[in-house]
Amino acid sequence: MRFEMLDLNKCIRELELRYHKPVNSVQLLAVSKQQSIAKIQTAIDAGYTAFGESYLQEALPKIEHFKKTPHSLTWHFIGPIQGNKTKKIAENFDWVQSVDSMKIAKRLNDQRPEHLPPLNICLQINISDEPTKSGIQVNDLFTLAEFCKTLPRITLRGLMAIPAPQSNFDDQRKVFHALRLLFDALNEKNFSLDTLSMGMSNDMEAAIAEGSTMVRIGTALFGTRIIP
């Protein structure tokens, strides 16, 4: 059976129009964690070029595989980061969206290989303030952002968050709005951030309504995750 991939770019363009956002202001990150190389290939054939992975061991062979193909892809690390994984992450990814401590930022900076451009990073915020979730508290955001500015081998591009799941559209918007305000507050302090990474399969529309510049879509694009 051929796997039919949804034309998500078309969908995103329609949402940009509906919420009066500039055309192409929202990028799509195809979240390929727990998806096969064959499905990633289908996504590449459909024109997708940016992929998100959450587990280092699973991601490395995929990245290796596509290095041997003519495609120019961008890989984003979006999962929780343990200190002993930062070296491989700094060596193999273009972006890390889940930075949530000075220690991790410093290690990524120190371990980013010289022959590569600075690593793009987003700070992950625990926006719903859930004790068990990754991400920094809002109160720690400015200190960490200032610290990242001093590190030459990483470039702070923006903010990322995974809000607690909510089914009500207005409730989804409220959380994204709060994140948007933090993003604007940093930019008022001249951080020049261009990436507000918010919105997944179930809350993409609310995120775009609130000014997301990057939605991270897994299941809506690839179907149910399979690799255990």
Ligand X SMILES: *Cc1c(COP(=O)(O)O)cnc(C)c1O
Which residues would be at the binding site for ligand X (CB under 6 A)?
31, 33, 54, 78, 162, 200-202, 216-220
**C-alpha distances out from residue 226 to 32, 36, 38, 222, Å:** 10, 8, 12, 10
Instruction: Report the length, in residues, of the chain.
Output: 228
Which residue is listed with tokens 């604007």? Answer: 184
Please identify, using beta-carbon distances, which residue of 153 and 202 lies nearer to ligand X: 202
Instruction: Compute the distance between CA of residue 222 and CA of residue 162 in angstroms, rounded to an integer.
Output: 19
Least Å distance, CB 137 to ligand X, is: 18
Please identify, using beta-carbon distances, which residue of 3 and 110 lies nearer to ligand X: 3
Secondary structure letter of residue 212 according to DSSP: -
Q: Following DSSP, what letter does each residue of 87-142 receive, concatenated?
A: HHHHHH-SEEEEE-SHHHHHHHHHHS-TTSPPEEEEEEE-TT--TTS-SB-GGGHH
| 3-class state of residue 91 by DSSP | helix
Residue least distant from ligand X (Cβ): 218
Q: Assess contact for 220 and 33: CB atoms under 8 A.
A: no
Classify residue 18 by burial, with Cβ atoms within 10 Å: 0-12, 13-18, 19+.
exposed
Least Å distance, CB 190 to ligand X, is: 27
Please identify, using beta-carbon distances, which residue of 137 and 143 lies nearer to ligand X: 137
Residue 4 amino acid letter: E
Please identify, using beta-carbon distances, which residue of 55 and 153 lies nearer to ligand X: 55
Instruction: Compute the distance between CA of residue 124 and CA of residue 137 in angstroms, rounded to an integer.
Output: 9
Least Å distance, CB 97 to ligand X, is: 7
Please identify, using beta-carbon distances, which residue of 54 and 111 lies nearer to ligand X: 54
Please identify, using beta-carbon distances, which residue of 168 and 190 lies nearer to ligand X: 168
Least Å distance, CB 127 to ligand X, is: 12
Least Å distance, CB 29 to ligand X, is: 8
Least Å distance, CB 78 to ligand X, is: 4
